[in-house]
Amino acid sequence: MLCQSCWPDAHFIAGAVCDACGVPIKGEAEEEDLCEICHAAPPAWKKGRAVGLYEGPLRRMTMALKHGDRQDIAKHMARWMVGSGDSLISPETTIIPVPLHWTRMIRRRFNQSVLIANAIASERAVRHIPDGLQRIRATKPQKDMTREERFENQRGALRPHPKRVDQIKGKPILLIDDVMTTGATLSACAEACFDAGAASVNVLVFARVARPD
Q: One digit per residue, pLDDT tens: the chain, 213 residues? A: 666 667 677 899 988 899 999 998 876 666 678 988 998 999 999 999 999 999 999 999 999 998 888 999 999 999 999 999 999 999 999 999 999 988 887 888 899 999 999 999 999 999 999 999 999 987 777 777 787 878 777 888 899 999 999 999 999 999 999 999 989 999 999 999 999 999 999 999 999 998 755
Q: How far is CA 88 from CA 45, 67, 146, 166, in A?
A: 12, 28, 29, 22
Which residues, in sequence order, are bridge partners of residue 180? 208
Q: Which domain holds residue 100?
A: 8-208
Task: Identify the CATH number of the domain in which residue 76 sits.
Answer: 3.40.50.2020
pLDDT for the residue numbered 115: 97
What whole-number distance in Å separates Cα of residue 171 and Cα of residue 193?
10
Number of structural domains the chain divides into: 1
Is the CA virtual torsion 96, 100, 101, 105 positive or negative? negative
pLDDT for 159 equals: 95
Q: What pLDDT score does 78 carry?
A: 97
**DSSP E strand stretches across 73-171:** 94-97, 127-128, 133-135, 158-160
Tell whether 1 is covered by a domain: no
Instruction: Note whether residue 60 is domain-resident.
Output: yes
Asked whether 73 and 65 are in contact (CB, 8 A), the reply is yes
Q: Is residue 62 part of a domain?
A: yes
- Domain presence at residue 183: yes
Residue 34, strand partner residues: none
Is 129 inside a domain boundary? yes
pLDDT of residue 108: 82
Predicted pLDDT at 29: 63
| Residue 78 contacts residue 86 (beta carbons within 8 Å) | no
Give domain status of residue 3, yes or no.
Answer: no
Tell me whether residue 169 is in a domain: yes
pLDDT number for residue 132: 97
Domain assignment of residue 24, yes or no: yes
Tell me the C-alpha to C-alpha distance, in Å, between residue 43 and each of 101, 140, 185, 198.
23, 21, 11, 16
Predicted local distance difference test score (pLDDT) of residue 169:
98
